[in-house]
Amino acid sequence: MEVKINKEIRDYSENIFFGLSLRQFIFSICACGISVLLYFLLRPYFGIETLSWLCILGAIPFAVLGFLKYNGMTAEKFIWAWIKSEILYPKKLTFKPTNLYEQVMRDIEKENTKNSKKTRGVKNKIENIKKDIQTRQRKV
């Protein structure tokens, strides 16, 4: 007797009927039911070959919903994720490079101009004080 053990525990699914999981079994029954319903509804209007193709096309969405898994997501989770990413929250990503060296140099230049303005102001004040002192000395 051989027992299959999955490498990943999340991949485990319990087999219910004919080796299908409950989800797969329910969607298979739905697909068969839709095919039978389409057959009886459309039999008066189409020939057998066309009718068989319509039954197959009607059953495909249910078969896909039951058996499809993409990136560990079931079909309806994948469809919801796709709708959210493409329709509800679309993002247009653009790349804008930044040159850190240039930014640092701009910051340094701004600081230098501020310092030079301050020192100019201080130098001007000192010169004004010297002139005032000289004019006072001349008056005395």
Residue 6 confidence class, pLDDT cut points 50, 70, 90? low
What single letter denotes the amino acid at residue 6? N
| C-alpha to C-alpha distance for 34 and 27, rounded to whole angstroms | 10
What percent of the chain stands above pLDDT 90? 18
Nearest to 31 by CA among 57, 4, 3: 57
| C-alpha to C-alpha distance for 37 and 51, rounded to whole angstroms | 11
Q: In this predicted model, what pLDDT tens digit does every residue of 47-93 receive, in sequence order?
A: 889 999 999 999 998 888 888 888 888 888 888 988 988 888 877 77
Note the pTM of the prediction, 2 decimals: 0.50
The more confident residue out of 33 and 5 is 33
Q: 48-67 and 22-42 helices cross at what angle (nearest 10)?
A: 160
